[in-house]
Structure 1
Amino acid sequence: MTRKAAIVGGGVIGGGWAARFLLSGWDVAIFDPDPEAPRKIGEVLANARAALPALADVPMPAEGRLTFSKTIQDAVEGADYIQESVSERLELKHKVYAQIQAHAPTTLLGSSTSGFKPSELQIKATNPATIFVAHPFNPVYLLPLAEVVPSQKNDPDHIENAKEILREIGMYPLHVRKEIDAHIADRFLEAVWREALWLVKDGVATTEEIDEAIRMGFGLRWGQMGLFETYRVAGGEAGMKHFMAQFGPCLTWPWTKLMDVPEFTDELVDLIAGQSDAQSGHHSIRELERIRDQNLIGFLRVLKDTNWGAGKVLLDHDERRRTLASAPTPDTAAPLVLAHMQVLPGWIDYNGHMTESRYLHASTETCDAFLRFIGAGLEYVKAGHSYYTAESHIMHAGEAKLGDKLTGSVQVLGSDEKRLHLFIRIERDGALVASIEQMLLHVDMAAGRACPVKPEVLERLTPITAAHSALARPDTAGRFVGQRKS
């Protein structure tokens, strides 16, 4: 059953939330009195549709249904989750909450506020227990972090439910255990922003030079290691203690102006805005968003390849989607559909088609899924045994293009204690794109030679082999390179 998310406030952040839910298969109802809201959100959605699928290695679910509601009541009625993203004015938020809870008093209600504490949001609320902070980061449809901040009036079970919903749409809910103005991340950003304003005002650096200092240096480190882990490495072999001993005294030196705020004058605003226009005014905001998204995809995919930082969230989300898919029955006399993939931007060549290496990648994904299915996955490998590919033959039968959704299936042609003979089909909408025939050997990794498979794996493999023996042998099984078609 498709669930519904209500988005109240359709600006940059609200539009990002709408895209995240919609592309995760939720129906989304948006309320925003701005007559330009449909156009603005449509542009955000176009960017999200081009970006978010590039982070997944399993197909995205079918997109939900988007509606623009004329009233808050229409938006929130029947919603399973509500996200508020109106302007940062407390009296406005209180007014909006009263209207929301008049029609959905028990529905989880997250606020995108970057500064207010949940206890402030809950003042005079009909049901304060459902209101909490769920503070995301722009672009919401790509960056996984959401700071989840409850107060003592929140039911812990409700907060856990909210965190699970955020995980379902691919986000990382960071549970902030103590209420504090601006939560965690924005307190760092405020300190950096304050110091940056002084550097510009005092003529030490321009906006561009400050941005270069971040993106050419510590920003790259922070993006994959954060603050404390970065400094732990900076301490060398002695670790964090050495770093603290070496640089701790600097904290008393007059390096920063963290407690001193530059006067916010028109002159300062013009200075900052003018430098910013000179820095990147030749790009439109939508162009900057697309450049940002492509750069973020590259960073996040690298982190995903190393199962590190935000990349781990993406891997976990892929695995969650795989787990939700119905598992095949081991003894079914039919090829086992075990992998669901889609053709990503990095998978295509200069012709716009899926490139050679990615057919083998698709085959590997399918084969790995089968090995996990019979109990020879990563834990089995860690214990010292694995299946090694001894031979492969790939035959191209069709073309796959950007965005195509592919399935990978396995037919077992034969197996014994040491060998596993597989026929893998990669298909698009039921049409064969490629077939890969593989012979695998079971190996004792420490000894470096073939050995009998463990009984628990053989117990799962044997009935599959028996069931598949009743299937017709594929016409292309046993082909060799250059063999003529019959």
Structure 2
Amino acid sequence: MKRAAIIGGGVIGGGWAARFSLMGWEVRVFDPDPEAERKLGAVMDNARRALPMLYEARMPEPGPVTFHGTMSDAVSGAGYIQESVPERLELKQKVYQTLQAACDPGAVLASSTSGFKPSELQAISARPEQILVAHPFNPVYLLPLAEVVPSPKTSPEIIERAKEILTGIGMFPLHVRAEIDAHIADRFLEAVWREALWLVKDGIATTEEIDEAIRMGFGLRWGQMGLFETYRIAGGEAGMRHFMAQFGPCLSWPWTKLMDVPEFNDDLVDLIAGQSDAQSGDRTIRELERERDNNLVAMLRALKGQGKAAGRLIAAHDDSLRQPLEDTVPMVTVRRIVPVDWTDVNGHMNEGRYGQVFSDASEELMTHIGADKAYIAAGHSYFTAETNIKYHAETLAGEAIFVETRVLLGQGRKLRLGHAMKRASDGALLASCDQFLLHVSLETRKSCDPLPKVREAVERLAQRHEDAA
């Protein structure tokens, strides 16, 4: 099992630990806070519920998360080390000295810092070539972006290894080619944050009104198209050139206070904190995290369905996690977590989603017998002609489920499957489905015999399941 070390187990470090563990890595954590295990446990609980909802494929078995009394012990045997200690440069530099005295010289040594440049982190290190920045965004277990920032001294091999590892755990390593304070994304966030503070301080808007302006407007556009492509569309058929000509002059108008900083004093803190408490103070942080995660899962799944932005990354990573079916009787064709966007007003899974689960099960079996994407692209497939679904118990968001599939008939152009959807925690039967399919030509859209290889695979599987009945 691959091993990662997490130095600092707060909100960000806990998110890293969850992401690595749920992607099958062993995780070793160091944090001197006596409450670290409890706090990280809360992050892990959120991650276990939310991250698997993004995937249709079975995820790896979670790796163990252990806590260690020293940094040296935590990094023993680790191939990837993520530092997430408080944003104090001297502290980080001392941490790197301790880590490099104990860790594998070939391990990736990455920092979650949102502001410091890697050259600053490397200043008193023994092996500067080992250190880079991998700056994530909260919650790390759901948001895929990690800004990978090397310095001129960082080894090219370390950079590539970091990008490969981050890609493997479902993240998007954005290689920042030149180091700069606050990297790329936080510079945008700082600009928006600074302007927001002025708007509140000057009495123009409340914290809630500013949040509404973002989430009801440009935040939705940015989430799926970013900044420049959004403005390209705003230029109409003439594109970005027209937009620049039309709106460029306003850049010299005194619309913002981005070059000025409001005085950070107790009055400003009280004003912001008071409005924030009024806005959402009736809900606990855990409740807000659950709401945030539910919304992110639903939005990311929508983007996944369209194959766009972060959703395209998740879809590709989902495909990479798929494993061939084991040739058991019955065959386990689906293992997954029920996502939040599959539930209805009663809080349980919508009946239409049961059909999707059983459809996914039949598609996995089709791939197993050779009626895969290439077979379909060549003009052949199986179409469902009839289904009969029975609902035996409620299925709730966040529950782990699996589907057992039996081949009840496999003869000529006919294929009949029996599916049983069960709860993973206790094996309880949640729903069953009797599904009848016909092999068709996609050219004529009429039934026809399967190609010999698929027909033989179906008949062989049907006979095996009959013998085991």
TM-score (norm 1): 0.86
Q: Which amino acid aligns with 2:337?
A: Q
Give 2:420's aligned residue: 426
Matches within 5 A, 1:7-156: 7-106=6-105, 107-156=107-156
Calculate the aligned-residue CA RMSD, in Å. 2.9
Deviates more, 1:43-52 or 1:87-96: 43-52
In structure 2, what is the equivalent of residue 484 of structure 1?
none
Q: CA-to-partner distance for each residue in 1:53-88, whole Å, 9 max, x for gaps?
A: 222223433332222211111111122211100111
Q: Is the 8 A contact 1:363 1:424 kept in 2?
A: no
**Residue of structure 2 in register with 1:407 after alignment:** 403
Does residue 1:231 correspond to 2:231, yes or no?
yes
CA distance in 2, matches of 1:131, 1:151: 8
SS in 2 for 1:470: helix
Question: Hey, what does 2:337 align to over in structure 1?
Answer: 342
Query: Aligned partners of 2:335 and 2:11: how far apart in 1?
Result: 32
Provide the rounded CA distance (Å) in 2 between the counterparts of 1:359 and 1:282. 36
C-alpha displacement at 1:437, in angstroms? 2.5
CA contact (8 A) 1:58 1:342 kept: no
Aligned residues: 463
Distance 1:8 1:156, change over 3 A: same
The C-alpha deviation readout for 1:74-112, integer Å capped at 9, x for no partner, is 111122211100111111111001111111042211100
Residue 361 of structure 1 corresponds to which residue in structure 2? 356
- Local SS of the residue matching 1:102: helix
How far apart in 2 are the matches of 1:335 and 1:291? 38
Q: Which moved more, 1:292-301 or 1:207-216?
A: 292-301
After superposition, the Cα gap between the structure-2 partners of 1:119 and 1:383, relative to the gap in structure 1 and judged at 3 Å, is farther
Alpha-carbon spacing, 1:424–1:252, altered in 2? closer, same or farther (3 Å): farther
Give the match's secondary structure for 2:44. helix
Hey, what does 1:450 align to over in structure 2? 446
Contact 1:5 1:80 survives alignment (8 Å): yes
Aligned-pair CA distance for 1:116? 1.2
8 Å Cα contact 1:333-1:467 kept in structure 2: no
1:439 maps to: 437
Deviations 1:301-332 (A, max 9, x none): 2222222222222222221110xx2455xxx7
Query: 8 Å contact 2:325–2:331 — kept in the other structure?
Result: no
Q: CA deviation at 1:166?
A: 1.6
**Aligned to 1:277, what secondary structure does the other structure show?**
helix
Residue 462 (structure 1) aligned with residue 462 (structure 2): no
Equivalent position amino acid for 1:356 in 2: E
User: Is the CA contact (8 Å cut-off) linking 2:342 and 2:349 kept in structure 1?
Assistant: yes
CA distance in 2, matches of 1:407, 1:157: 43
The one-letter amino acid of 1:25's match is G
Cα-to-partner distance string for 1:337-382 (whole Å, 9 max, x where unaligned): 5443333444456777655323321221122234444555456656
Work out whether residues 133 and 149 of structure 1, in 8 Å CA contact, stay in contact via their aligned partners in 2.
yes
Return the offset for 1:266.
3.1
Q: Quick one: which amino acid aligns to residue 403 of structure 2?
A: T
Match of 1:248 in 2: 248
The SS at the match of 2:139 is coil
Question: How far apart, in 1, do the equivalents of 2:131 and 2:453 lie?
Answer: 48
Distance 1:469 1:206, change over 3 A: closer
Unmatched runs of 5 consecutive residues or more in structure 1: 477-486
The AA in structure 2 aligned to 1:188 is: F
Aligned CA distance change for structure 1 residues 398 and 154 (closer, same or farther; 3 Å) = same
Structure 2: segments with no counterpart, 5+ residues? none
How far, CA to CA, are the matches of 2:231 and 2:458 in structure 1?
54
- Which residue identity lines up with residue 338 of structure 2 in the other structure? V
Cα deviation, 1:401-452, whole Å, max 9, x if unaligned, reads 6523303546383354xx341424335468875243222242335x5x3275
Q: What do residues 27-69 of structure 1 show as CA deviations (whole Å, max 9, x unaligned)?
A: 2221111112122212222222232222222343333222221
Q: Is the 8 A contact 2:371 2:454 kept in 1?
A: no
Following the alignment from structure 2 to structure 1, what is the Cα–Cα distance between the partners of residues 344 and 205?
Answer: 42
Residue identity (%): 58
